[in-house]
Structure formats: C-alpha cells, structure tokens
C-alpha cells in the first residue's frame, strides 16, 4: 500500500492540476428564461399539494442542499433513505441524482416533479394550473412566444435557472488562478494531503466530483449503510450495488449531512470514514484537520441570480 501511495503522490505532483476553477462568468445563458426558471423553482404551485417547491429541498441557506438527512415531499412524504444533493454547480455534473438516472438538469427537473415522494405532479395537472395563471401565461409568452404552456417548457426554464447556480471565486479557485497567498500554510498542507492520500482520484475536475461513479465501501466487506437508490437501480447489475455518483466537494462545509443517506453529520467524520471505506486507511486526526481546512476553502460566492443580479 505504501508503495502505491508513493507512486500516486509523484504522479499527482508532476501532473497538471487535477482541479479546474469555476469560470467567473457564465456564457450562453438566456437570462429571461433563467429568471422564469427561478420563479418556477420557488413556486409550490408545481407540487400536487401546492406546499412543496424545488427550493424546499435545495435551499440557498444550505448552499443548494437541504441541511437535513431526508427531505420532506408532498403530503409530508419522506424520500428515504436518500439525502438531497446540492443543486449548486450541478451544471458541471456528468449526470444528475446520486445514481445518475437523469442525463441532464432538464430531465432531473422532470423526474423530481413526477416523483410521488417529491412533488407528485403529472403533465395534465401541471399544464392546467399554469395555463390558468395570467402571470405565467404572460411570462411564458415572452420567453417562448407560445400561447400554451407545456410541461417541457417548465423543465427547460428550471434547467436554465439551475445552470446559473455556480459559486465561483472560492479561495482555492483564486489559488489555482495564481494567487499563491490565497491559501494559508495549513490549507496548502491540507491540499497536499488531499492529493497524497488519493482523495483526488475520485474528487477532481471543475466540480471536484460529479464526473464518475464509485463504489462506497471498497475496503469494507459488509457495509452497514442502507443502499437506497444506487446505480444498481439504473443498470440492474449486481456490481453496481452501493455505487453512486461521486458528489461534488464544492461548498462542502455548508451542505451537511453527508453521504447518500445523510448519515454523517460532521465533515471530519466524513473524511475519516472515506479514508477507511474507500482508501483502506485510518487517516490521523492531525491530517484530518488539515484536509478539513482545505475543504473549507471550496466555499464560493453566492450565485449572482440569487443576489438579484
């Protein structure tokens, strides 16, 4: 194991940086469509009982996550045992949901809207409600130049809004852009350990995750965590049990609880367990403190569209 870690460290040391900074500005966004999507995202009219909106499970104060283990859907239904992932920077994920069952943000919005444990809506009811609203008729006419609102337009607009939910300019992004004073020595040490322990193997790219599927518990023979909706539910291959999309680490200090079932409350414990489960090592407490300090540098700015810009 030590020899493997030694080789991995030198590969990473001399390789190009495995993490890219988030762009400071987004290109090719239809602003009017995104603003319409924002209105829809915050409106409980999209749920069957008119009490749940997209924002109910993806709260700005929780950096696009929910801050609770299990979200509450329509009629107080609970989507157990899955924890709501952050919608911030989701445009950089290769797939959506923990098991990747949605290929893009538009499909994710549609699936969440139809899910009986989330919003429990159907095409007919959704279109009837929105077409009965003079406000929405006017807004959709302006954006789509159509007299009748379809469910496809709704999910398209929500996806356009979600594409704007980026959190640029975190301390680490500034460091990557050349400001070597952006990080303290402790934070730099944490990044060094993050790479040398092998965390970077799965958490890399612009979203520091979201671009691969990995098995939880590579080094655990009998893991004691409920599977929930893992990759097996999509592929039906036995080897995909306990396989999930690697979550983004951006804004990770603000999106507790952790893991697919929200069973871990603290960032330190999540670091320790991932070392044990997926690296096969017990990371010393001192090194966990360093890595946690680095992870806290991944908290970016609030998305512009949520600041009224």
Q: Tokens for 273, please give them.
A: 């367990």
Residue-by-residue pLDDT tens, the chain, 309 positions: 445 544 554 555 545 799 999 999 999 999 999 999 999 999 999 999 999 999 999 999 999 999 999 999 999 998 678 999 999 999 999 999 999 999 999 999 999 999 999 999 999 999 999 999 999 999 999 999 999 999 999 999 999 999 999 999 999 999 999 999 999 999 999 999 999 999 999 999 999 999 999 999 999 888 889 999 999 999 999 999 999 999 999 999 999 999 999 999 999 999 999 999 999 999 999 999 999 999 999 999 999 999 965
Single residue among 132, 163, 194 that ends a domain in this structure: 163
Q: How many domains are contained in the chain?
A: 2
Single residue among 163, 183, 201 that ends a domain in this structure: 163
Q: Give the range of the structural domain holding residue 209, as residue numbers without chain letter.
A: 2-23+168-304
Single residue among 144, 163, 182 that ends a domain in this structure: 163
Active site residue 233: no
197 lies in the same domain as 257: yes
Q: How far apart are CA 292 and CA 138, in angstroms?
A: 48
* String of DSSP letters for 31-42: HHHHHHHHHHHT
Q: Tokens for 257, please give them.
A: 């609880």
Q: Which residues pair with 102 in a beta bridge?
A: 96
Q: Which residues pair with 222 in a beta bridge?
A: none
72 lies in the same domain as 85: yes
Which candidate in 17, 76, 117, 118 is catalytic? 118
* 309, part of any domain: no
CA 202 to chain centre: 15
Q: How far apart are CA 136 and CA 43, in angstroms?
A: 11
We report the CATH number of the domain holding residue 149 as 1.10.760.10
* 290, part of any domain: yes
Buried b (16+ CB within 10 A) or exposed e, 169-186: bbbbbbbbeeeeebbeee
pTM of the complete model beyond 0.95: no
- Give the E-state strand segments of 148-190 in sequence order: none
Q: How far is CA 101 from CA 159, 177, 210, 279, in A?
A: 16, 34, 13, 26
H-state helical runs in 199-263: 232-235
Q: 3-state DSSP: the chain helix, strand, coil percent, rounded to 5?
A: 45, 5, 50
Q: Tokens for 272, please give them.
A: 């320790």
Q: Which residues pair with 213 in a beta bridge?
A: 245
157 lies in the same domain as 175: no
Q: Tokens for 84, please give them.
A: 């709501």
């Amino acid at each position: 194991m030590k020899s493997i870690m030694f080789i991995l460290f030198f590969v990473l040391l001399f390789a190009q940086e495995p993490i890219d900074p988030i762009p400071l500005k987004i290109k090719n966004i239809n602003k009017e469509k995104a603003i319409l999507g924002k209105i829809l995202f915050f409106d409980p009219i999209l749920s069957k009982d008119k009490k749940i909106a997209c924002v109910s499970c993806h709260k700005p104060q929780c950096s696009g996550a929910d801050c609770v283990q299990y979200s509450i859907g329509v009629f107080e239904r609970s989507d157990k045992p899955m924890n709501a992932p952050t919608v911030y920077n989701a445009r950089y994920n290769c797939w959506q949901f923990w098991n990747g069952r949605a290929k893009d943000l538009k499909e994710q919005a549609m699936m969440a809207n139809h899910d009986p444990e989330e919003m429990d809506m159907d095409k007919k009811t959704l279109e009837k409600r929105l077409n009965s609203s003079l406000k929405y008729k006017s807004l959709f006419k302006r954006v789509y130049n159509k007299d009748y609102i379809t469910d496809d337009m709704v999910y398209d607009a929500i996806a356009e809004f979600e594409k704007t939910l980026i959190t640029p300019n975190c301390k680490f992004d500034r460091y990557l852009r050349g400001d070597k004073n952006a990080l303290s020595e402790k934070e730099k040490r944490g990044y060094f350990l993050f790479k040398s322990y092998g965390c970077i193997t799965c958490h890399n790219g612009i979203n520091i995750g979201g671009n691969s599927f990995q098995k939880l518990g590579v080094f655990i023979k009998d893991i004691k965590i409920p599977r929930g909706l893992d990759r097996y539910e999509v592929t039906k291959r036995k080897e995909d049990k306990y396989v999930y999309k690697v979550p983004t680490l951006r804004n990770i200090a603000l999106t507790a609880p952790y893991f697919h079932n929200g069973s871990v409350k603290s960032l330190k414990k999540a670091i320790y367990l991932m070392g044990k489960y997926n690296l096969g090592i017990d990371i010393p407490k001192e090194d966990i403190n360093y890595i946690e300090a680095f992870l806290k540098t991944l908290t970016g700015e609030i998305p512009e569209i949520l600041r009224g810009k």
